[in-house]
Homo-oligomer: A and B are copies of this chain.
């Protein structure tokens, strides 16, 4: 974790439109500006640990963070991948509980920290923010259920393709030849943990996808031209 912690100007944040604060009135934004702290994190850093008390919220400006959860026997799973615009820690904050999972940096990231005191104040004076978090919680639950179903019903192959499609929707690019491509933001082993598999199986599945000319991989670059063929293979559920 680098030492440079800087004030962050939320009002002019270029990705504010992606965040939970997009509709916050100017007045409150100004207030946040006085407290938000930005910091650069490197791969492997933790924003917080499972079991920690919650001191505030983290808002991801760039990079990727994984929510990882350990069970009693020490096995861990990536529960969720969070990217630019996502706010982390709201559950422990609103639920007055400790963090139920760890937030680990999967790719160098810029993250802003907002202390719980200021959040509480905002929540009091501006109930629509609370409403917003309620909606967040409802959709997170919805998504979690979907992920649960996928884990139970889909093959590794389908899970991997689904993961690629999710990335594609968010970050898909088109190159000059009309070929879709994605730069995978995380390592193979993290992909494996995310889709509930192992690095070995992911590797093999990737190979198979290549021999079938469905997707090409080159390190962290994944490319494909026939989007439809992929969609066909997975019952595209979100």
Contacts and interface: CB of A to CB of B under 8 A. Distances in A.
Interface of A: 69, 71-73, 75, 77, 79, 91, 94-95, 97, 100-101, 127, 130, 133-135, 137-142, 144-145, 147-149, 151-153, 196, 235-237
Interface of A is mostly: helix
A165 to B, nearest CB: 14
B69 A145 contact: yes
A81 to B, nearest CB: 14
Contact of A152 (B72, B77, B127, B141): B77
Nearest to A72: B235
Given A71-B235, A71-B237, A72-B235, A94 B134 contact: yes
B147 A141 contact: no
A72 B150 CA distance: 11
Given A73-B235, A235-B71, A151 B153 contact: no
Contacts of A145: 69, 79, 100-101, 144
A236 B79 CA distance: 19
| A73, A133, A134, A138 pick with most chain B CB within 10 angstroms | A138
3 tightest CB-CB pairs across the interface, nearest first?
A72-B235, A95-B138, A144-B144
15 contacts: A71-B153, A71-B235, A71-B237, A91-B138, A91-B141, A95-B135, A95-B139, A127-B127, A130-B134, A134-B137, A137-B141, A141-B141, A147-B148, A148-B151, A151-B151
A149 B75 CA distance: 9
Contacts of A127: 127
A140 B148 CA distance: 13
A194 to B, nearest CB: 11
Contacts of A139: 95
Given A69-B145, A141-B141, A151-B151, 5 more contacts: A77-B148, A79-B148, A94-B134, A95-B138, A130-B134
A78 to B, nearest CB: 10
